[in-house]
Structure 1
């Protein structure tokens, strides 16, 4: 009987020891990785380089528009491969069920916090452009 109780106690304790996220879990700030920003500006590259993410990882990314042109960033496939916690615009927190694109009519910053879910290679781009510098890739491993 003691052996059975000891085994049950180990089984109950195992899930808590299986990760090191702490009491707040995955969404705790200590578990968040801040990515280099996406930049929306006339003639400027969208990103310095592509992004490497891990499935199950918690990330934030700023999308910064300089106001030089009315520009958007789109990536429906990428946005469907992640779980979006929130989009923060001017201290307003939006918790969407999904996202296709964000368009900036003026300068500003939007911050997206998300969990990478579905492994694959995804493209995020400025719609209507063809230049390689106007797109970037997100690889979820």
Structure 2
């Protein structure tokens, strides 16, 4: 015998209210990491980040535009939930991420939640021996 339609909606409202009161959305407010600057003359502005698994972060990457930079962090991206990538106020909701590339000056924001502790390297392809390498330490 089918349930009355009103019973379904009342149950849904109670369930929504109960979960909203007890569970906080992890993507509500991202912790902003110190921006990573890519400089042809200096390499990376920062080479080590220490972060926590399960927390929501925004990582801003800024390029001086003097070189073409392909920034890779394959292990970190594979072990993280990538919420979005923002380029010039345009959002991309990726299923996964391997790298971001700069052809000109600009910035890219990556919003993510690392899932597993470990050490994850990030680097610019072909320039890692010239100061373009670093590590994320996820606790």
TM-score w.r.t. structure 2 length? 0.79
CA-based RMSD of the aligned residues comes to 2.0
Contact conserved, 2:37 with 2:46, CA < 8 A, in 1?
no
Q: Deviations over 1:69-102 (max 9, x none)?
A: 1111111111101111000001110010111111
> 1:1-141 counterparts in 2 under 5 A?
16=22, 21=24, 25-29=25-29, 32-131=30-129, 133-141=131-139
Q: Which runs of 5+ in 2 are unaligned?
A: 1-17
Contact conserved, 1:47 with 1:133, CA < 8 A, in 2?
no
Q: Which runs of 5+ in 1 are unaligned?
A: 1-11
Residues matched between the structures, number: 121
Contact conserved, 2:119 with 2:136, CA < 8 A, in 1?
yes
Q: CA deviation at 1:132?
A: 6.5
User: Which 4+ residue blocks in structure 1 deviate beyond 3 angstroms?
Assistant: none
